[in-house]
Structure 1
């Protein structure tokens, strides 16, 4: 009897998916399948932040389940403060909008720069694509043979700034001028690309730039690096370090704090409260992409940039170090880096 009842129920088993939903038997569709990720770059096209992002965007889909399309959107202004505001306040926390901001942006928040409408500690951090070395680069036809000649310059050395005081490389140059007593005049331009054009026209003498950004112009022998920040790169590790060139104790401290931003490098962020599962996908994809031999080779050969994944925890630790400076040090920094 029992066997007869069981046998009669067998045909019903084939209809169960229709009663309870076929999704119970289907494999879960990858979240990113059929979607588009927009990467917001806080600078105009052509600079180092833009170049490195376009290499990553090209390869990122193959490291994300579902292989979404990845587009790059430039949103220049205020040394990436505008882009950061957009990601913090407007972009949805759905993993479809992420951004790349300037590594010097913690100082904009620390010093309460006008227009800052975000808290870096609340972003969902993906990680960084590099550790940078900031340098002072001057035209190769300048009449300086050694560092001593640089200190003896009688005519002002015109240094172009493509991002104002919120830009890490401009912060570097400001502190060189203040604590090394270099005879420099800082002139603001719309972007680093505009500064390079001015250098080529000999309207400007030099620029503060990361080694990754300046490398194409070293290859062309347009520029020569003279001074670097604390974090060394094998190509320029023998250059004098900014902190070592000043005897001012306050200057050494501020230069040291500024150099922490170089270790943040090229930081990628997502809106606050982006779900943990989505952030795990993005972080894993960036980490794998930046270690992939094809990505590493293309970044170096086509964009002349070295890539290196810096975990989000490390980025946030460095951000907190800058933001947690005591009030007396914040006051001292604010005397020189002014917004």
Structure 2
């Protein structure tokens, strides 16, 4: 009896010794195993302090907790060409293993569709979008002492505004309004980022800035609606009202369209306002890692700690999932060639 029990215990121990490695192998998480001990880099296609930089660093502070394996997460900057440099680097140079993420301006997504041939050297539909940090209103702001006091004035008086490079909302938004609707906008481009443009506005070098994200405007001008503020919101560059701005009777630029065709072109162009803070991975990243980072992104953005962090910075963070963003981009690239041609003409006319 004692011998038989001893034999059964010995047999059970042998069985456990044989199956334990297999069970452990089955319970391993390949995503966690890959990311453990690694560093995930988030590249912001703007200078330090710009709108993209704010969102990149906001995500970087919290993402580690939600990626399996808890890798280190760092944010860095790659400004230039309206964030096209960062987007193209992600597309062509960045490792395709899920350790490099980039956030760039929506113009980088639109540029290959609407821009000139020499700048359109990549296919945004092949990027793996993991989410959008915020669907943002875009505004035009001016100094209170500028000769232009209402948006209607820009069709009668010159307004001198600052911008970065082609493909940036700071360039493309005013260019379209100038070429399509006839606004008298003098655009001084070449600034490194929105932070530098706003500094020039504060110093009186410029009269305003258009194509600026509302969250960035609030961050850089917290007293925007105070009568003592240096600047004011001239217009909302969108097709639909924004509650916060509508309460202040800020006009929509689309309402200055003179024909149904102009309105249709602006409706297409302003689609990018839905995806103002897109985060993406390069093409070719294994789909299981794309799925893991999409989940980590949306869980991070909805996390109470991140939302509290965003609130402290006066930054809106109303995210969209990677799947939603991917669908928007794919649909955008099926737009009729005729409408795209009309918008191209408005974007590229001198």
TM value normalised by structure 1? 0.89
Which of the numbers 225, 232, 242 marks the counterpart of 2:233?
225
Residue matched to 2:141:
137
Residue 234 (structure 1) aligned to one of 218, 234, 243? 243
Segments of 4+ moved more than 6 angstroms: 3-6, 16-21
Q: Which residue of 2 aligns with 1:92?
A: 95
SS in 1 for 2:315: coil
| Conserved 8 A contact 1:138-1:226 | yes
Helix, strand or coil at the partner of 1:272:
coil
Q: Is the 8 A contact 1:133 1:262 kept in 2?
A: yes
Query: Aligned-residue CA RMSD in angstroms?
Result: 2.5
Unaligned residue ranges in structure 1 (runs of 5+): none
| Whole-Å separation in 1 of the counterparts to 2:233 and 2:124 | 31
How does 1:1-20 map onto structure 2 within 5 Å? 7-8=6-7, 10-11=9-10, 14=13
Query: What's 2:226 paired with?
Result: none
After TM superposition, give the deviation of residue 277 of structure 1 in Å. 2.1
Match of 2:342 among 329, 332, 335: 332
Change (3 A) 1:82 1:18: farther
For structure 2, list consecutive stretches of 5 or more residues without a partner in the other structure. Answer: 224-228
Cα displacement (A) at 1:230: 2.0
**2:310 equivalent in structure 1:** 299
Cα distance between partner residues in 1 of 2:308 and 2:145:
32
Alignment-derived partner of residue 62 in structure 1: 65
Instruction: Check 1:14–1:290 CA distance in 2 against 1; reply closer, same or farther (3 A cut).
Output: same
Superposed counterparts of 1:110-259, under 5 Å:
110=113, 111-153=115-157, 156-162=158-164, 164-188=165-189, 189-208=191-210, 209-220=212-223, 221-228=229-236, 229-237=238-246, 238-259=249-270
Q: Displacement of 1:114 after TM fit?
A: 2.0
- The change in CA–CA distance for 1:333 and 1:179 in structure 2 (over 3 A counts) is closer
Choose from 80, 83, 97 the match for 2:83. 80
Deviation at 1:100, TM superposition (A): 0.7
CA-CA distance at 1:176 after TM superposition: 1.9
